[in-house]
Amino acid sequence: MVVSSAAPAAAMPPSVDLLIVGGGINGAGIAADAAGRGLSVLLCEKSDLGGATSSASTKLIHGGLRYLEYYEFRLVRESLAEREVLLRAAPHIVWPLRFRLPHQPSQRPAWMIRAGLFLYDHLGKRVTLPGSKAIRFGDDSPLIAQFKNGFEYSDCWVDDARLVVLNALQARHHGAVVKTRTACTALTTSTGDDGRTIWQATLADSDSGATHQVSARCVVNAAGPWVSHLGKQLLPDVPPEPVRLVKGSHIVVPRLYEGDEAYMLQHEDGRVIFVIPYENEFSLIGTTEQDFSADPAGARISPEEITYLLAIVNQYFRKGLSEQDVRHHFSGVRPLIDEEVENASKVSRDYTLELDMAPAPLLTVYGGKITTYRRLAESVLHKLAPLFPDMAGDWTGKATLPGGNFTSQHALSDQLAGDYPWLTPSLRERWVRQYGMLVNDLLAGVTDLTELGTEIGPGLFAREVDYLYDREWARTADDVLWRRTKLGLWFDDAARATLEAYLQARSAQDN
């Protein structure tokens, strides 16, 4: 069964205003913002949207409470303000989360935590989220008995990979062309019709090897952890800024405790570890921070990182964990500005934008964090404004991301129960938190459960796979199971093989 209302594959344009290389959250955010201002945009990504760092975060929209220790007040203020923007723009994939911080007197003193939380409550606009408070842990606490006192504060959860996809959808809605599995392999220059020097980019299909030539008035290097490597490859005569690669790893274990709260755990090395409710049945634990020098595509958790995370959790929680409890793990590499400090935890999560005008306009994005991607994108367009004087002004601060035009997840779930009474509660809950109002596109013309087609694996029907293939650039099992959904937590090898075969059949049908 193929979703009939598929978005047609866009042809490769011969020329654009802006060529963006890198389909992580920064590249997708810049593409959406630029296209919404009226620029012609091409976004190319060598693998899948959000296929690296942007799908391997701790999945938080947060101000960064610990950044206050390093006096990064502007970054924290900007991040806190963005919580409110994203809560309103994407209520299907962003929602409030309360964090409990058990007090560990040997680490940070209580007065320091109170002062930090006071700043956290007041540095940015806090409209919908409740403020912080001191709490006491009772006999029903999941923590070991020594932890009696603590604090509670607010931040937000985000489905990071879907945030990337929604921005790509937003970009496409405004006319951008999004090409996945497409690498930028060379840049040369030529003279445009107006006499200005422009870029000539060679783009290669990562699967077939077929190449295309595209001219662009400006190129944006948003390649994330590959930013310096790409810069050296494409423009060997233009030295890039030094970037420090830091690997962060997470583990997923069976649910550690009942309740919707997350925990922030202090460790004796000065770092903090988060324990977060994950996909109803699990807890997400992370992150580590290790300097990394290999290819980011090969980042994997080490046995030492697993031991580190388990040891911290076992210092706090009554329910002990062992390596056998680890059901899933993932690692991502963050590209941070190299400040030549010894401790990776102290390297700023802020971003830097470098605009080089020779031989033609090239803007390079260094650093950044998922919470501030929208502000980063705005800053990019402000920097490029002299090149495109006719483009429109800022607009994303009040825009809704695709599927986000509803009031609350609960209200939308009730609406879907009325519109599609045959939907199972588990499907309805998952689809509300993945697609929001876009679920109506997925279900267009469907009148009962049988019309969803074959159940390829637990909770995944052919109808949804077709939708993801046709609308959201999904091509592999990992695209579907870990980035468009998190159903990989329930898929065994046989179900995964069935899904891979289905996707290969779809690809053969298209070709």
Q: Mind listing the pLDDT tens digit for each residue in 456-491? A: 999 999 999 999 999 999 999 999 999 999 999 999
Evaluate if residue 1 carries a pLDDT over 70: no
Residues 221 and 253 in one domain: no
DSSP string across 11-51: PPPSEEEEEEE--SHHHHHHHHHHHHTT--EEEE-SS-TT-
- Write the burial class of residue 135 (CB in 10 Å: 0-12 exposed, 13-18 middle, 19+ buried): middle
Instruction: Please check whether residue 207 lies inside any domain of the structure.
Output: yes
Instruction: Please check whether residue 116 lies inside any domain of the structure.
Output: yes
Q: Mind listing the pLDDT tens digit for each residue in 273-303? A: 999 999 999 999 999 999 999 999 999 999 9
Evaluate if residue 4 carries a pLDDT over 50: no
Instruction: Please check whether residue 437 lies inside any domain of the structure.
Output: yes
| Residue type present at position 418 | G
pLDDT band, very low/low/confident/very high, at 234 (cuts 50, 70, 90):
confident
Q: Which residue has the tokens 């405790």?
A: 257
Residues 198 and 333 in one domain: no
Instruction: Please check whether residue 404 lies inside any domain of the structure.
Output: no
| Residue type present at position 254 | P
Residues 168 and 275 in one domain: no
Residues 175 and 236 in one domain: yes
Residues 331 and 361 in one domain: no
Residues 210 and 297 in one domain: no
Q: How many domains does the chain contain in total?
A: 3
Residues 378 and 356 in one domain: yes
CATH code at 199? Answer: 3.50.50.60
| Residue type present at position 30 | I
Q: Which residues span the domain enclosing 479?
A: 409-510
3-state secondary structure of 104: coil
* Pick from 121-125, 425-429, 430-434: least confident: 121-125
3-state secondary structure of 323: helix
CA neighbor of 154 nearest in space, from 69, 258, 71, 261: 261
Mean pLDDT of the region 95-121: 90
Residues 189 and 133 in one domain: no
CATH code at 130? Answer: 3.30.9.10
Evaluate if residue 2 carries a pLDDT over 50: no
Mean pLDDT of the region 17-25: 98
Question: CA-to-CA distance for 63 and 489, rounded, in angstroms?
Answer: 29
Residues 505 and 417 in one domain: yes
> What is the predicted pLDDT for the residue at 5?
44
> What is the predicted pLDDT for the residue at 3?
38
Residues 188 and 40 in one domain: yes
Residues 443, 435 contacting (CB under 8 angstroms): no
> What is the predicted pLDDT for the residue at 53?
95
CA neighbor of 18 nearest in space, from 234, 180, 223, 218: 218
> What is the predicted pLDDT for the residue at 346?
46
Mean of per-residue pLDDT scores for the chain: 93
Instruction: Please check whether residue 23 lies inside any domain of the structure.
Output: yes
Residues 249 and 236 in one domain: no
Question: CA-to-CA distance for 180 and 20, rounded, in angstroms?
Answer: 12
CA neighbor of 155 nearest in space, from 79, 251, 257: 79
Q: Which residue has the tokens 């980063």?
A: 376
CATH code at 446? Answer: 1.10.8.870
> What is the predicted pLDDT for the residue at 248?
96
pLDDT band, very low/low/confident/very high, at 6 (cuts 50, 70, 90):
low
* Cα angle, residue 121 at apex, residues 116 and 127 outer, rounded to 5°: 165
End-to-end CA distance of the chain: 17
Residues 235 and 248 in one domain: no
Q: Mind listing the pLDDT tens digit for each residue in 377-398? A: 999 999 999 999 999 999 999 9
Instruction: Please check whether residue 440 lies inside any domain of the structure.
Output: yes
State which H helix or E strand residue 155 sits in: strand 149-158
Instruction: Please check whether residue 74 lies inside any domain of the structure.
Output: no
Q: Where among 357, 377, 398 does a domain terminate?
A: 398
Buried b (16+ CB within 10 A) or exposed e, 295-314: ebeebebeeebbebbbebbe
Instruction: Please check whether residue 305 lies inside any domain of the structure.
Output: yes
